[in-house]
Structure 1
Amino acid sequence: MDPLSALDIAAAVAQLVQFGGSLVSKSQQLYRHGALLDHIECGNATRRLIELTNGVRSSWRELERLGDLSPDAKALEIICCVCVKLSGELLSRLEKVQLDEKNTSRKWKSFRQALKAVCMKDGVDSLARRIADCREELNSHLIASIRKKAGALLLRQDEVISSLNAYASKSIAALLETRTLIREDLLNHRDHIFRKSTENASSTQSSTLLAISEAQTIEVEMVQNLHFTMIDDRHDAIPEAHRQTFRWIFDETRKEGCPWSNFREWLRTGSGLYWINGKAGSGKSTLMRYIFNNAKTRQQLNYWAGESSLDISGFFFWNSGSPIQRSQAGLLKSLLFQALQQQPNLVRVVFPEEWAMYSSSTVNHTKIRDHLYSLSTLQKAFKRWIVLLPSSSKVCFFIDGLDEYDGDHEEIAEFFKGLSSRTSNVKLCVSSRPWVVFDDAFKGMPMLRLQDLTFDDIQAYVFDKLEGHDRMRLLKDAEPAHAAELVNEVVTKASGVFLWVTLVVKSLLNGLRNRDCIGDLRRRLSELPSDLDK
């Protein structure tokens, strides 16, 4: 046998064996499962394809009810029909090779069905490929339709947005125009109301302004009537403190060996009355002026006032001045003038009767001024002012020279003592000679005795006045010991009396101008009385 014939026989045997093996395998699958596994998978996929295809056809039928279908839609429907038809044909063929579960000769039937499946394999595969091709065409057509529909929707969306923008622009323009019209109407209405109100209220407003102006004029006039021409004469006549003197009054610690109440602490946190006393000529008035004018006083009192407003007023009695300068009436007029000058609106409540008289055009203002000067009226007004003093205001009075008051000293002492204890918003610093009447009235209150505290001040004053003179510098160079003794003798003899020192220094300076030697100056000092009362 030639090789080619042998090869043909071998190939035929291989095909027979392959066919037989496939047939046996398929017979076993049919026997166990009732259908071939690949047929089961193919059938399931085909049924799913039919369901999807029918769903697409149903959707198109819904659209068809709304109107004629487009050419694309009709083509898609045809593809769906073909796909369903082919799928049905494939399922029919697959069912022919399935076993009937009621058949008793299951093995023989499995073999026969397997043989049939092998024989019809090519037809089934061809039909499956046609269905796959149909499915691919269906998918491509759907994608193209969806893309086309999406483009149409985007175009429609752009048209809708453009339409909305145009409508919004028109609406905004209309609103702006309406707002302008409403604003113009409101402005016109306001102007109309304003003109009417102005016309109706012009006479009333004029009357009100005139009444206010007249009231303010009366307030100013009544305050000015409290002023008198010599109100500041005593203060201005007091000599200013010599440089570098009285600075200790604002020290935080008091001088050693001298019992006195710390004045700085009293200004900051104290209350009631502080009494400065000293011998005649010790410099009480000069110290009071120094305190009253010093910015440190207000600085320390501001700590006491806190958030409250602070008013500082003062009066300096003067027994060598006019009667009003040494009287209680002058004191009260001065204090009320300083207070009401800051708050003239209080005039009508501090002087209610006088205000009513002033407001009456039938009363002579000269008679009212005379009435304002009376002591009883001033006393009542001062008490009203203290009562009306709000809790948000604090006042500190500085009253100098109670001993120079031309009246009952016990009465004036009790007046200030009562004033200091009436309210915590008022406190006073007063000065006087250390008379018994004042010592009894102010016993136990903060105080200082001036002549005990001014030794250093007097020494500084004498050194500055004498050693500043050219003649004294020459004498000091020639007789340094005697020159120092002269200065120390002046300071010691002064005994805290500043006025005596100023008179002695003045006499010694005259001696220096006359070319006196140290001996002449010491004789001049010994001839001067050591007490101002002599």
Structure 2
Amino acid sequence: MKPLPAVGLASSTLQLSDFAIKILSKEHKLFQPTESETPENHVVLQDIANHFYRLISELDRNDLKKLTADPKRPKLSEAAEQLLKLSDEIKELTTPLIDSVLQAQARGSFGDPKWQTGREALLSVQKKKDISALKKKLKHVSVEVNTSLLLALRQYLEQSAETGLPVFSDDDAPHVHPRERWQNQAMDMIHENSWKPKNKKNVEEFSKLVETLIQSENEARFRSDLFAKLQFPAMNDRLQSVPEPFEGSYEWLLKSPSNGCQKQKENNFLDWLASTEGQNLYWITGKPGSGKSILMKYLLRNEQLFPSLEAWSGSSPGIIAGFFFWSSGTELHNSGCGLLRTLLYEALQDMIYGPLQKDPGVIQWLFADRSEQSLSYGGGMHDFTFADLRRAFELMMSDVSKKFFFLIDGLDEIEDFPTEVVELLRSSTKRDNVKICTSSRNSPAYQDAFENRPHVVLDDRMNNDIRAYTAHLFDEEERFAHIRNQESPDQTVESIVVGGLVKKACGVFLWATLSAEFLLQSISEADDLSTLYFHVEALPMDMEGLLTHIFQSLDRVDLEQAARLFRLVNAHGYPTLLGLSFANDLDTASGVKAEVRPLNESETSARLEQIVELVTVQCRNFLTVFEAGVDPTTESSDEEDLDQGKSARLRINYTHRAIRDFVQSARIGEQIRNATGNNKFNSDENWANASLWNLKTLHHDGDSKLPLWNHIAWCIEYALRLEEKDGKVRLTYLDEVGRAGITERKDLINLAAIDLPDGVTTESFLDLAVWLNLGGYVRIKAKDTDRKEIKHSLEYEKVVRKRLGRGGEDRWVGEQKKLKAAYASTTPELYQLLEYYAKAVAMRFATPKPHLDIPEHV
């Protein structure tokens, strides 16, 4: 049975009331953290304001509350009607508090003594008697809410007795919502104690029970916020980009050595995993491209490991988590913070929602200061530092009742805190309840740290896997059929091609795959065994030489196309495949001309097939396609679900770090720039066009809201980059962004999920331009825009900036550097110009017109 709507509405109402009473009370101290620096007054006050906004928004989204907007709503019970009325009253009482908090924030100055209570801050802008009066009103209304909730639950009990409706659900059932569990407990106590809403003492007893509901709701909100803060959107992208291991490869690692080599026996992976003798770190190393990441993907959650893990963990529950460093990815992919956020997130998900079903209070334990800040004033969601995360990670591992197994790939790709991370791994594996398998290149720093630990040098062991892979590849190729007819006992495809590639690869799997694919692309119907022999012999043995050999095989047309794609990927990171197809368009004005509609299936398929062909042939497999945004540890049994939205998840990046370094080297980079006309090619112009295409073709999945903000923000960012280069405002382009993102999608728009107050809507692109301080665009548009639209934009700017507060823009424009700079700039004369044009024409004659130069535009 789901929680009753009345319980949800009462809970939201009382959470808002309870928080307001805390802030108004001299007894409620603002929590001062012990493990990190105490936040400044203005930060605390902004957190308070943000929490008020959030609680009001949650109250407005309540199902019962939404019914009030429906003129045909069914008749509600007396208790429900009373709760709706009280929720409005609480909202009216608390909404002005936000203004008072922000006024106190504005009055404060740097270096002020830390306020000990919210009341102390409010006294700088309000009278003591007004604060006390408001607090008294809130307490009175809260009692009425408790009374109405008691009435609602009692009426449900009585109705259930008459009609036979179910009263309770199974408290022990998995994933029972805390509100449902509380509801069961409340109705049981109401029935057992015969509590009545007209009995003051009964209401007081019931109110104590309601306090536990509010506490559990606040704790659940903190857990949800903390998980959201640990997680980052691209968390699994590196794991997804690593190719699946070829069938049968790497199995040797999970078998006992067949010869009598004592060193191999000591380094046997499963023996190490099962051992309780204290050697708790295993190092996988090898040359670049030897297949370390593929092996780590093969090991992550591999069921063949479980018996050995269980032998080590004994009766203790085991937790498995993994992280893959990625220098070609986002900042978090190659940072110590990204590592610890991922390991903490995966481990805690496993503990709370996995088989362990551990008390979710473990999150409050690990992040005690943040939990107290959250409960005290709605804070605790500031950015993590490496030190914050390390404390929580070490505290988690201190729980010796559990065993932790972590797989960490690509240590050599870390860019911040490398020394601290290596030291953390070494100190962690001194614990008996922690095992870590890590991989890196065989550089001196990692040799010194790990050489005396159990380890495997991958390129020493890969020959058989390379042989199996290349043999399979050539067996599947139909064009080899006529060549196989030429085989003799002394000369076969196996001996000449496969054997030659295995020998030259020297255990480097990437070398073998690139060489094999290159040979397959190069072969023709006229080739014979002798030609194949010379092709293989011509391949350089070192990776740098091989990449140069493949790159130089490109003819002029292929080189020009490949160079365009390389420059586009270099400029973006790892874009979506569909986005790259838009960016590759030679007509960089095609996005402006395009319709505002999703692509149909055939259009999408045609674009994807074309760009995949270019990546495979013209780019010689230097780039690879993978599916991002999917949890690789879960599988769906519904094939349709797997296909839905897949095109939006397909991304592209360099096949390997060694290839990226080669393409971005000075020597090859110059050739690539020359092939694209050097300065004639402007990647920002191409990506501006692609961003508008993305915005216009955004698929609407039936939800009442459409998340357009990220696409709009990138359109603006690229327009600002182009404006910076030539001084010309992209007026036509930005107008089209407004049409595609706002004018034609008013019913669907969900800009930034800002939770704008009631009645405030995004009407036009000018609203965004004024809010974001796009000075050039605003100066051009102001003269010819209707004054009502200008007035709306000025009001919109005030409301949204107030709503976001200090630093709130980071969530919306943090990635877009030019947009962030525009937002932070101060141009009072621009607002004077807008105020001038917002006046009626007759009134303008009495006001001098501010002078601002009108920039060039295209």
TM range (shorter): 0.5 to 0.7
Match of 2:427 among 418, 424, 445: 418
What is the RMSD computed on CA atoms of the aligned residues? 2.3
Contact residue 255 and residue 453 of structure 1 kept, 8 A: no
Contact residue 274 and residue 446 of structure 1 kept, 8 A: yes
- What's the counterpart of residue 247 of structure 1? 251
SS of the counterpart of 1:370? Answer: coil
Q: Matched residues in 1 for 2:249 and 2:191: separation?
A: 73
Does residue 360 in structure 1 map to residue 376 in structure 2? yes
Provide closer, same or farther for how the CA distance between residues 411 and 513 of structure 1 changes in structure 2, counting only shifts above 3 A: farther
Match of 2:221 among 217, 222, 229: 217
Deviations 1:227-282 (A, max 9, x none): 00111110110001001111111113356769431001111225410011011000
Deviations 1:144-192 (A, max 9, x none): xxxxxxxxxxxxxxxxxxxxxxxxxxxxxxxxxxxxxxxxxxxxxx999
- What's the counterpart of residue 38 of structure 1? none
Structure 2 gap segments, 5+ residues each: 1-188, 197-201, 353-359, 546-858
Q: Between Structure 1 and Structure 2, which shows a larger proportion of helix residues?
A: 1
* Map 1:122-161 → 2, pairs under 5 A: none
Match of 1:370 among 382, 407, 430: 382
Provide closer, same or farther for how the CA distance between residues 232 and 479 of structure 1 changes in structure 2, counting only shifts above 3 A: same
TM-score, structure 1 length as denominator? Answer: 0.60
Q: Matched residues in 2 for 1:312 and 1:428: separation?
A: 10
- What's the counterpart of residue 91 of structure 1? none
Provide closer, same or farther for how the CA distance between residues 212 and 447 of structure 1 changes in structure 2, counting only shifts above 3 A: same
Contact residue 258 and residue 452 of structure 1 kept, 8 A: no
**C-alpha deviation, 1:442, in angstroms:** 1.3
> Letter of the aligned partner of 1:486 in structure 2?
V
> Letter of the aligned partner of 2:222 in structure 1?
I
Q: Matched residues in 1 for 2:501 and 2:519: separation?
A: 10
- What's the counterpart of residue 194 of structure 2? 195
Q: Matched residues in 1 for 2:483 and 2:191: separation?
A: 95
- What's the counterpart of residue 496 of structure 2? 485
* Map 1:310-321 → 2, pairs under 5 A: 310-321=318-329
Contact residue 290 and residue 510 of structure 2 kept, 8 A: yes
**C-alpha deviation, 1:487, in angstroms:** 1.7
- The count of aligned residue pairs is 337
SS of the counterpart of 2:439? Answer: strand
> Letter of the aligned partner of 1:419 in structure 2?
S
Which is worse superposed, 250-259 or 448-457?
250-259
Deviations 1:309-356 (A, max 9, x none): 010011000011111100001001111111222334212121111111
SS of the counterpart of 1:360? Answer: helix
Does residue 350 in structure 1 map to residue 366 in structure 2? yes
Contact residue 335 and residue 417 of structure 2 kept, 8 A: no
Provide closer, same or farther for how the CA distance between residues 513 and 203 of structure 1 changes in structure 2, counting only shifts above 3 A: farther
Does residue 450 in structure 1 map to residue 464 in structure 2? no
Q: Matched residues in 1 for 2:482 and 2:401: separation?
A: 61
Contact residue 230 and residue 345 of structure 2 kept, 8 A: yes
Q: Matched residues in 2 for 1:303 and 1:244: separation?
A: 25
**C-alpha deviation, 1:410, in angstroms:** 4.0
Contact residue 483 and residue 527 of structure 2 kept, 8 A: no
> Letter of the aligned partner of 1:207 in structure 2?
E
* Map 1:192-341 → 2, pairs under 5 A: 194-196=193-195, 201-253=205-257, 259-260=263-264, 261-270=267-276, 271-341=279-349
- What's the counterpart of residue 171 of structure 2? none
Provide closer, same or farther for how the CA distance between residues 335 and 487 of structure 1 changes in structure 2, counting only shifts above 3 A: same
Provide closer, same or farther for how the CA distance between residues 315 and 254 of structure 1 changes in structure 2, counting only shifts above 3 A: farther
SS of the counterpart of 1:478? Answer: coil
Does residue 404 in structure 1 map to residue 413 in structure 2? yes
* Map 1:370-389 → 2, pairs under 5 A: 370-371=382-383, 373-387=384-398, 389=399
Structure 1 gap segments, 5+ residues each: 1-189
**C-alpha deviation, 1:200, in angstroms:** 5.4
More contact order relative to length (CA 8 Å, sep ≥ 6): 1
Q: Matched residues in 2 for 1:397 and 1:357: separation?
A: 30
Q: Rg larger in 1 or in 2?
A: 1
Contact residue 324 and residue 409 of structure 2 kept, 8 A: yes
Deviations 1:120-159 (A, max 9, x none): xxxxxxxxxxxxxxxxxxxxxxxxxxxxxxxxxxxxxxxx
Contact residue 288 and residue 441 of structure 2 kept, 8 A: yes
Provide closer, same or farther for how the CA distance between residues 408 and 359 of structure 1 changes in structure 2, counting only shifts above 3 A: closer
* Map 1:65-104 → 2, pairs under 5 A: none
SS of the counterpart of 2:451? Answer: coil
> Letter of the aligned partner of 1:239 in structure 2?
P
> Letter of the aligned partner of 2:212 in structure 1?
T
Q: Matched residues in 2 for 1:238 and 1:350: separation?
A: 32
Q: Matched residues in 1 for 2:259 and 2:297: separation?
A: 21
Deviations 1:339-394 (A, max 9, x none): 22233421212111111111123x4x4xx4333x222211222222222x1x3210
- What's the counterpart of residue 36 of structure 1? none
> Letter of the aligned partner of 1:532 in structure 2?
M
